[in-house]
Amino acid sequence: MSLIFEATRLGALELANRVVMSPMTRDRAGPGDVPNDLMVEYYRQRASAGLIVTEGAQPSRTGKGYWRTPGIHSQEQVDGWARVAEVVHAEGGRIVMQLMHVGRVAVLANRGFDAEVVAPSAIACPDKVPGPDGVPAACADPRALAAEELPALAEEFAQAARNARAAGIDGVELHCASGYLINQFLDRGSNRRADSFGGDGAGRARFPAMVTKALADAIGADRVGVRISPGNPYNAMDASDPAETFAPFLAAIDDLGCAYLHVANMNLPDFDTLAFLRANWSGAIITNNMLTLETAEALLADGAAEAVSFGRPFIANPDLVARFRAGTPLAKPDYTLLYTGEERGYTDYPTIAG
């Protein structure tokens, strides 16, 4: 049997197979950013994955920047996620929640409430983000966080992790990629601070490491994953020196004993991402980005990763694991319905069983 179908363990997480569903924003949450019936069914359909990593959930009101993304800071949101966890577990699956604070990548019209925009430095994101009508809009100007605010912000992440566990979610994944708040602290382009939370790579890694430790202290490091994407310029990140950006961060958190490191491999021509991770990270690795069954199996066989994650294939193939086992061709998603359409393009993709 291929390694991809074998059970494995990542920290406290027991996976029935090594196929991971990667986090994907789908913009379907209900009023109050509460997971609704559609989201419950969407995750239930995909529970045959060894592990589901949810779409990014904001740990606080200031963490929201996109339209209809779910939160994990109110009791109603906790109750909504509890319904998701219940159906995934009933199908035999495991699920962790990605904690995503957008920082400066925020369009105020997407929120539906007043909350300030914060970032490591008062530098606006130059890239645009879709507004409520789907039309790209300018991001708001952020306020630079004061150093004395950062411990309380780390505690917001920790409380979000406790809330996720209270909902029955198996763990959390800290989003440190794609130009959002944690990545903004790591990045020398968006972090221009002159205090101990800025400067060189070690200084810029200080707050991201503080948050990771707060999560580990809150729910146990063996239920905490970390997501990075070295060399990814998304949302105006400086991708010129991935090692300088991420090596100090990995050094600061490696001895915590986190469940896994989840990497979106940009397949850079002059930087071997997976070799870099093996040299700087002693724990389990989940790798992602444009994988096929064949390339994923090769990575597992070579020992480059302990598990492999798939994003877009899971959109149109809720039974992706079964299709891999059967050698069935994969359906293609309707990309016009990624962020709109309610059940269309979301829960209406058929399985091979009909």
pLDDT digits (tens, 9 = 90+) for 319-346: 999 999 999 999 999 999 999 999 999 9
> Active-site positions?
180
At 353, the pLDDT band (50, 70, 90 cuts) reads: confident
Q: Checking DSSP bridges between strand 136-138 and strand 285-288, what pairing results, if any?
A: unpaired
Phi first, then psi, for residue 338 (nearest 5°) are -60, -40
Mean confidence (pLDDT) of the chain: 97
Whether the predicted pLDDT of 77 surpasses 70:
yes
At 153, the pLDDT band (50, 70, 90 cuts) reads: very high
Q: Two tokens at 90? A: 């009933």
Q: What is the mean pLDDT of residues 230-235?
A: 97
At 233, the pLDDT band (50, 70, 90 cuts) reads: very high
Element (H, E) at 77: helix 75-90
Contact 284, 259 (CB under 8 A): yes
Residue with tokens 């530098």: 123
Helix (H, G, I), strand (E, B), or coil: what is residue 134? coil
Short-list 212, 218, 200, 187, CA closest to 103? 187
Contact 185, 204 (CB under 8 A): yes
Q: Checking DSSP bridges between strand 224-228 and strand 171-175, what pairing results, if any?
A: parallel
Contact 54, 24 (CB under 8 A): no
Q: Tell me, what's the pLDDT at 1?
A: 64
Burial classification of residue 255, based on how many CB atoms lie within 10 Å of its CB (0-12 exposed, 13-18 middle, 19 or more buried): exposed
Whether the predicted pLDDT of 7 surpasses 70:
yes
Short-list 173, 9, 204, 202, CA closest to 98? 173
Instruction: Round to whole Å and give the CA distance between 60 and 300.
Output: 37
CATH of region 3-337: 3.20.20.70
Helices 273-280, 242-253: crossing angle, 10 deg rounding: 30
Q: What is the mean pLDDT of residues 118-131?
A: 97
Residue with tokens 């904001």: 58
Instruction: Round to whole Å and give the CA distance between 4 and 306.
Output: 9
Residue 27 sits at the vertex; the CA angle it makes with 24 and 31, to the nearest 5 degrees, is 135
Phi first, then psi, for residue 276 (nearest 5°) are -60, -45
Q: Tell me, what's the pLDDT at 182?
A: 98
pLDDT digits (tens, 9 = 90+) for 244-288: 999 999 999 999 999 999 999 999 999 999 999 999 999 999 999
Residue with tokens 């905490």: 224
Q: What is the mean pLDDT of residues 301-316?
A: 97
Instruction: Round to whole Å and give the CA distance between 277 and 262.
Output: 10
Cα 299 to chain centroid distance, Å, stands at 21
Cα 317 to chain centroid distance, Å, stands at 20
Helix residue ranges per DSSP H, 144-221: 150-166, 181-186, 201-204, 206-219
Burial classification of residue 86, based on how many CB atoms lie within 10 Å of its CB (0-12 exposed, 13-18 middle, 19 or more buried): middle
Q: Tell me, what's the pLDDT at 321?
A: 98
Q: Tell me, what's the pLDDT at 270?
A: 95
Q: What is the mean pLDDT of residues 102-116?
A: 96
Whether the predicted pLDDT of 85 surpasses 90:
yes
pLDDT digits (tens, 9 = 90+) for 170-184: 999 999 999 999 999
Q: Two tokens at 283? A: 């724990």
Would you kindly state where each structural domain of the chain is located, as residue ranges? Answer: 3-337
At 145, the pLDDT band (50, 70, 90 cuts) reads: very high
